[in-house]
Amino acid sequence: MVQRQLPNPAELLELMKFKKPQFDGTTRRLDAALTIADLRTIAKRRTPKAAFDYTDGAAEGELSLRRARQAFQDVEFHPGILRPAPQVDTSVDILGGPSALPFGIAPTGFTRLMQTEGEVAGAGAAAAAGIPFTLSTLGTTSIEGVKAANPHGRNWFQLYVMRDREISYELTRRAAAAGFDTLQFTVDTPVAGARLRDKRNGFSIPPQLTLGTIVNAIPRPWWWYDFLTTPKLEFASLSTTGGTVGELLDAAMDPTISYDDLAVIRDLWPGKIVIKGVQNVEDSVRLRDAGVDGIVLSNHGGRQLDRAPIPFHLLPQVRRAVGDDFTVMIDTGIMNGADIVASVALGADFTLIGRAYLYGLMAGGRRGVDRTIAILRTEIERTMRLLGVASLAELEPAHVTQLTRLVPVAKSVSEAVVR
């Protein structure tokens, strides 16, 4: 028989400790977010549809983005046992400087449209975390403004080669003068991808008010208050601001970009230069031989060519082809610290986060970006401990298996079909 007794009031009080109420709504929301997916849910609730869909969407059927995310989910880890890792070292040296974590903030365009703090919030959060921040050519904060927000940290600049080459040259000189240490020369945007969500939403810069956008804004007055009471939203580096995103890109970009343009920019830029948007092994080897400092395996977050190669799947092949001494970074589809750990294990020197950062920004401004970084840091550290590794240098391909979902058709079979 179980012995029973009357409850002791003193013991009940020890068991019934109530959580201190949090009256700051932003803090309460962010504290409740345990994953990047949670931040995305908050961001969707707080941001008008056109701005949210610009961040969340990709090109055409959005197959490239879904496949990239699925590739990270189709990972099997192989932990070691009886290998204590009470403390883990997440720091890395990348492109001649330190980063406290194996990821940095990727370049994103129109960032103040998502939330008015924009790139200043991203650069400030990156500075606090000790990681690099990348400013886009299509950013809504100037090169000098980002430098002011992150005066002692690592700032990188992402460069598009414009039809008017002198615009690109001048941006390169300004970034160098401001002390940015790395240039991301982007090669996957000769023309704009077909971003159908933006077209259906009538998304443009500056935003155009329609009956639909007004109705969608009614439950989000805080976004419109921020938008209407802060400095005018415009490109900080470009003078052209009218039209849809695709129209702006098509007017600015140049499909004739070539290795000759790379040579000119290389001569202008005094720091490290990496090529962003590499999508096959052959180009990776050629760029290494051309003397660049590194590459970013990327399909532009699925926002350019739909059905493009999956960067995470391409990573092991590229690492084998270019050797261990060449810098290889990766983006597209990263939504969890475990994705970053798997990438490092398979040969990435560094990773970049785009949407994950913007979900945090939309969810809570600067504090939301801090929360994004904190979530990813926790996931990275926990995954490393569970794998039994104390530093990133201990990660190796044996820790990861990429499970197969998409299998290429054998060449002999495809040739037979053609015949």
Which residues are known to be catalytic? 300
Tokens of 21: 């109420």
Looking at residue 147, its amino acid is K
Measured CA distances, 385 to 79, 88, 198 (Å): 9, 7, 42
Q: Would residue 317 be called left, alpha or beta, if left means φ above 0 and alpha means ψ between -120 and 50 degrees?
A: alpha
Contact predicate 91/322, CB 8 Å? no
CA–CA gap between residue 361 and residue 369 (Å, rounded): 5
Interatomic CA distance for residues 394 and 413, integer angstroms: 41
Which residue blocks in 202-296 are alpha helix, DSSP H? 211-217, 221-228, 245-252, 259-268, 281-290
Residues 6+ apart with CB under 8 A from 236: 139, 140, 141, 142, 143, 145
How far does the chain reach from its first CA to its final CA, in angstroms? 82
Report the amino acid identity of residue 48.
P
Distance, CA of 125 to chain centre = 14
CA distances in angstroms from 139 to 73, 118, 219, 293, 338, listed in the order given: 31, 9, 27, 24, 29
Give the number of C-alpha atoms closer than 13 A to the C-alpha of residue 165, restricted to the C-beta side. Answer: 10
Q: Give kind and range of the element (H or E) at residue 118.
A: helix 118-129
Read off φ and ψ for residue 384, nearest 5 degrees.
-65, -45
Angle of helix 36-46 relative to helix 49-56, nearest 10 degrees, comes to 150
**Angle 288-131-395 from CA coordinates, rounded to 5°:** 65
What is the rounded CA–CA span in Å between residue 188 and residue 305? 9
**Gap between the Cα atoms of 174 and 142, Å rounded:** 10
DSSP for 378-407, please give it. Answer: HHHHHHHHHHT-SBGGG--GGGEEE--SS-
